[in-house]
Amino acid sequence: MKKYARIGLYLLVLAAAIALPLLLNMSRKGKYQIQIFTLAMVWAIATLSLNLILGYTGQASLAHGAFMGIGAYSFAIMVERIGINFWLALPLTCLVTAFIGLLIGLPSLRTKGPYFAILTLCFNVIVVVVFFNWTWLSGGTAGQKLTIPSYLSQRWVRYYVVLFFLILVLLIERQIVKSLSGSSLIAVRSNEALAEAVGIRSFREKLIAFTASCFLVGLAGALFAMESGNLNYNVTNYLYSFYILIYLLIGGVATLAGPVVGAVGLYWLLDRIEALGEFRYLIFGLILIVFIIYLPRGVVGGIKQLWEWAKGRWTRKEVPSDTPAYRGPDEEVRGIGSD
Amino acid sequence: MTLLRIEGLTKRFGGLVAINKLDFDIPANSITAIIGPNGAGKTTLFNVIGGAMRPDEGRIVLDGKDITGWRAHNVAREGISRTFQTTALFEELPTWVNLVIGYRMRTRSGVLDGVFRTPRSVRERKETSQRVLEILAFTGLADYADKPAGSIPQEAQKRLAIGVALIGRPKLVLLDEPTGGVGLGETDEIITLIEKIRDSGVTVCVIEHKMRMIMHLADHIVVLNFGVKIADGNPQEVCENPGVIEAYLGEYIA
Amino acid sequence: MSFFLSQVIIGIQLGSQYVMVALGLTLIFGILDISHFAHGHMYMIGAYLLYIVMVLGGFNYWLALIICMAGLAVAGVVVERAVYRPLRGRPSINSFIAAIGLILVLETLVRGIQPNPLSVPQPIDSTVHFLGTTMEVQRLIVIFGAIFFVILLQLFIKRTRLGTAIEAMSQDREGASLVGISVNRMSALTFALATALAAAAAVLMAPLAFIAPEMGSTLILKAFVIVVIGGLGSMKGAIFGGYILGILEALAIAYVSSAYKDVFAFGILIVILAIRPTGLFKGREAT
C-alpha cells in the first residue's frame, strides 16, 4: 500500500479511537461500552506482546496469561501495599515481569515448538496453583484491591490512558521490528539453522524477545488492574494464555495491525454475544481450528497476502507478513520491518 | 601462509567413521577444492569445520587460533562462513534483507538501540546498507534486490547464498557444491564469482563434482575417499596420482 | 507402615491412569508426531459417555466400558481426519494450536450443557483388607484393568501385522511408507487405539472421583511430562514414568501437601528439560 494511503488509514483509525468515548459517553449503555473497549485495548497490548515472541521468533508461549496476572498483582501490591506512586509503579511492574520472564526463559527456550508451548503452559499452571494457595500474596477470596488516583475514576479518562499506552506499545514494537535487532529475530524465525551459520546466537535472540515480550505484557497486566480495581487469583488463569493466542492468530500473527484487530474485534464480539454464555468460547475454539487450517496468517495476514499476490511478490512459503520494500540502489536501509 | 589447519580430524556416526584422521592445510588467498566420490565425507567435513557438528578427535586451527568444537555462530564470527548443498536462504524475505541478516554479526546494536534510535544504531544501519550495496554489485544481484529470495531463479539463489556468506567479511568461505543443479552457461558465472572472491582476499574452499571446472579453478586440491585423504596437491599432481585415478577419476583425460 | 503401603497402592492406581493416557499420547505424539494436546479432553468425553450410557442408559458397567471404548475409538478417528490430517506437513505447533481449539470446543460444550460435577456408582461397592490396609475394590479394578489393557496393547504391537506396522512407523516413517504402509490408515488406527485406551482409563477411574469438564486439563499436561521425560516414542518410558509419577504424587499428597500436588509434576519437567533436553530414555529430542 502506498505510504501516504497507509498513514491516512492509521490516522483515520486513530481519530475514530479518540472520538469513540465522546460518542459513547452520551448514553448510559454507551458508558458501559467504554469499559469494554478499554479492556479490549488492554488485551491488544497483551496480544502485541505475544506477537513479539511468536510472530518474530516463532516460539509459542502459553504463559502470557500468567505473566499478565503477575503484572497485575505486582502493580496492585506496589501501589496498594507498598505505597509506590501509581505512575512510577508502571515501569517497575514491567521490569519485574521482564525479570521473571528472563528466569523462566533461561531453562525453557532451549526447547522448541510444542515442547516450549507445554513448558510455558506448565509454568502457567504452577503460577495459578501458587496464587490460589498463597493467600498472603493473592488476597484469598477477598482478592487484592487497587486504589487508583481520583482523576482516574472516570471511565473515559482510563480509556485514554490505555489508548495512549497502546499507541506507545505499537510504536515500540514497530521500532524493534524495523531495527537491526528485529532482523535477527526474523532470521531466527525464518531459518534458525541458517541464522546460526551466519553468526546469530539464536538462543540469545529468543531470550531477548521473550524478556521484551514479558516486559510489555506486564504493562498490560498493570493496566488491567487499573481498569478492574480488584484482582483475584483467577487473573493468572491459563485460559487467558489461550485467548491471547487466539486473538493473535485470528488477527494476524507477525503483523502490527493483526494483534490489535484480533484482540479488539474478538473481545468486543465476546461482549456482544454474552447471551450465549459458555458457548461463546465454543465458537472461539471452532474459529481457531478453521483459521489455523485454512487461514493461518489471520485476517490481516490474509489481506496482506492477497495484496502481495496481486503485486506479483507472492511466494509459496508461509510468510511473516511484515516484509519491507526496497526503494532503489541509493537508498539507505530505511526499514527492515514494514511501514 | 596457512589459513586453516586440520589435524587428525575424526567424526563418527555410531559405527560409521565419516572422517578418519584427516590432516591438511588450506593456504591463504587460494581456492582449495575438496573432491571425492559420494559419501566420501566432504559435507561432513564442512559441517565439522563450520561448527554444526563437533569432531570426535582432532584439531581445527584458524589463523593460529584453535577453534575445535566451537559452535556455528562463534565459528562464523571468527571468520568462517559457508553455503549449503541444498541452498539455504531466508526464503520469504527479500534478497536484500537476507544480506542484512548476513551482516548482522558485525553490528552490535540491540533492542534498546532499535527502540531509542541511538547514534550507534543509525551508524550501523548506514554501514549495513553500504555493505549490502557492495555485495549486491559484487554478486550481480541488484535486479533481484527487492524480490523474496525463494522466488528468484535457482542460479541467482546460489549467488545470493554466496553473497550472504561473504557479506560478514569472512577470512574463509566454504562453498558446498555452489554449481549444483546449475546449467553450463551459468556455471561459468559462478566460476568467475569464485575467482573474484579469491582475488578480493578471501580464501575459498569448494566442494565440487564438476571435474573440468575444478581442474581450471583450483589452486590446491584435496581428495577424499571413505573419509580418508588419498591425495593433496596442485591439480597436476592430483590427476597423475594413481590412487585418485582408480578411486574417482576413471577415464578422465588430463 | 500400612499407611505408607496404602499410599503406594493409591499411587499405583493413580499411575495406572497416567500410564494409559501417556501410552496413547506416546502413540500419537511420539510416533505420528502430532501434538494432540486435546487427548486429555477425549478422556473427559469418555467419562461423560460413561455417565450417559450407564446412568442415563442403564447399561451395566462392564458393557458400558466396551461401548465407551468403541465410541471413543470412532471419535478419535473423526478428530484425526477433521482436525489433524489437513495440518500434516506443517510445523507441529500448528497441530498444537488446533488442539487448543478442540479443547475449548469440547470443554465448553460439556460445561454449557452440564456444568455441575457428576458421579457414577462403583460396580463393586465394597472394600478389601490385605497387608494391613483397607482399600476400595474399585482401586484394584483400576490397577488390574490398566495392567490388562497395557499387556493387550503390547501384544497387539508385537504380535499382529498392524501392530508391527505401527512399530515400523515409530522407527522410520518415511521408510515405512516406502514399503507400502499407508500413513492414512496408520494414523486413523493409532488414534483409534489411543483414544480407546483413554476411554478405558476414564471408565476405570470415574467411579472413584467426580466427573467434571476440567478433568482432562491437568491430566494431559502430566501425560506430556511423562512422555517427554520418558523419551518420545518409547512405550517403556511412558509406562515407567506413569507409575513413578503416580507413586511420587500420592506420597507427596500424603506426606507433604495436597494443594501443590500438580506443581510437583510440572516442576520436575522444567528442571529435567532444563538439564537434559533429550529426556531420560532413548527417543527423539525435544529440542
The residue with cell 516460539 is A59
- What are the CA-CA distances from residue A296 to residues A151, A187, A303, C20, C98 (Å)? 43, 20, 12, 33, 11
Helix, strand, or coil here: A21?
Answer: helix
Averaged pLDDT for residues B57-74: 93
Which residues in chain C are contacts of A285 at CB distance < 8 A? 100-106, 108
B245 part of contact set with chain A, CB < 8 Å: no
Q: Give the pLDDT score at C33.
A: 83
Regions of chain C with pLDDT less than 70: 1, 173-174, 276-287
Q: Is residue C255 part of a domain?
A: yes
- Give C102's contacts in chain A (Cβ within 8 Å): 285, 289
Residue A329, chain C, CB below 8 Å: the answer is no
In this predicted structure, what is the pLDDT of residue A339?
A: 26
**Closest to A246 measured CA to CA, from A203, A188, A287:** A287
Beta strands B2-13 and B57-62, pairing class: antiparallel
Partner-chain contact A208 B110, CB within 8 Å: yes
Instruction: Round to whole Å and give the CA distance between B219 and A87.
Output: 68
User: Which residue is closest to A212 within chain B, CA to CA?
Assistant: B111
Q: Is B240 in a helix, a strand, or coil? A: helix
Rg (CA), chain C: 18
Q: What is the pTM of this model?
A: 0.88
Between chains, do A333 and B126 touch, taking CB under 8 Å as contact? Answer: yes
B-contacting chains (≥3 CB pairs under 8 Å): A
Of B87, B101, B86, the C-alpha closest to A186 is B101
- The partner residue sitting opposite A282, judged by closest CB among C100, C108, C228, is C108
Q: What is the CATH number of the domain that holds C58?
A: 1.10.3470
- Amino acid, single-letter form, for residue C27: L
**Which amino acid is residue C66, in one-letter code?**
I
Query: C90: Cβ–Cβ under 8 A, 6 or more apart, which residues?
Result: A296
What is the Cα–Cα distance from C241 to A53, expressed in whole angstroms? Answer: 32
What local confidence, expressed as pLDDT, does residue B248 receive? 61
Mean pLDDT for chain B? 89
Residue C287 lies in a domain: no
What ipTM was predicted for this assembly?
A: 0.90
Domain region containing C103: 2-275
The Cα angle at residue C240 between residues C238 and C245, in degrees rounded to 5: 90
Q: What is the pLDDT of residue A329?
A: 30
Instruction: Give the single-character DSSP code of C132.
Output: T
Question: pLDDT tens for residues B4-39?
Answer: 999 999 999 888 888 999 999 999 999 999 988 877
Q: Contact at 8 Å (CB) between C184 and C22?
A: no
Question: C264 — contact with chain A (CB < 8 Å)?
Answer: no
Flag if B114 and A313 touch (Cβ within 8 Å): no
Q: Mean pLDDT for each 10-residue chunk of chain A (339 residues)? A: 79 89 79 89 97 91 95 92 91 97 91 84 90 82 82 88 95 92 93 93 94 96 92 88 94 92 93 86 92 90 81 52 33 34
3-state secondary structure C236-287: HHHHHHHHHHHHHHHHHHHHCCCCCHHHHHHHHHHHHHHHCCCCCCCCECCC
Residue in the block written with cell 495440518 = C87
Q: How confident is the model at residue A335, as a pLDDT?
A: 39
**Per the CB < 8 Å rule, is A114 touching C35?**
yes
Q: Total domain count for chain C?
A: 1
Rounded to the nearest integer, the mean pLDDT of chain A is 86
C218, C273, C275, C284: best to mutate for the A interface, most A CBs within 10 A: C273
Give B96's pLDDT tier (boundaries 50, 70, 90). very high
The confidence score (pLDDT) of residue A331 equals 33
CB contact under 8 A, A288 and C87: no
C109 contacts on A by Cβ (under 8 Å): 279, 282
Q: What is the mean pLDDT of residues B183-195?
A: 85
pLDDT of residue A2: 67
- In this structure, which topology does domain A17-311 adopt according to CATH? ABC transporter involved in vitamin B12 uptake, BtuC (1.10.3470)
**Would you state the pLDDT for residue A232?**
85
pLDDT at residue B141 above 80?
A: yes
According to the 3-state scheme, what is the secondary structure of A166-185?
A: HHHHHHHHHHHHHCHHHHHH
Please spell the DSSP secondary structure of B13-27, one letter per residue: ETTEEEEEEEEEEEE
Residue B98 is predicted with a pLDDT of 95
Residue C109 lies in a domain: yes
- The structural domains of chain A, with segments of one domain joined by +, span 17-311
Q: CA-CA distance, A66 to A127, in Å (whole number)?
A: 6
Q: What pLDDT score was predicted for residue A337? A: 34
Q: Is C280 contained in some domain?
A: no
- Angle among Cα A173, A177, A179 to the nearest 5 degrees reads 115
Tell me the β-bridge partners of B94: B148
Residue A245 contacts C where some CB pair is shorter than 8 Å: yes
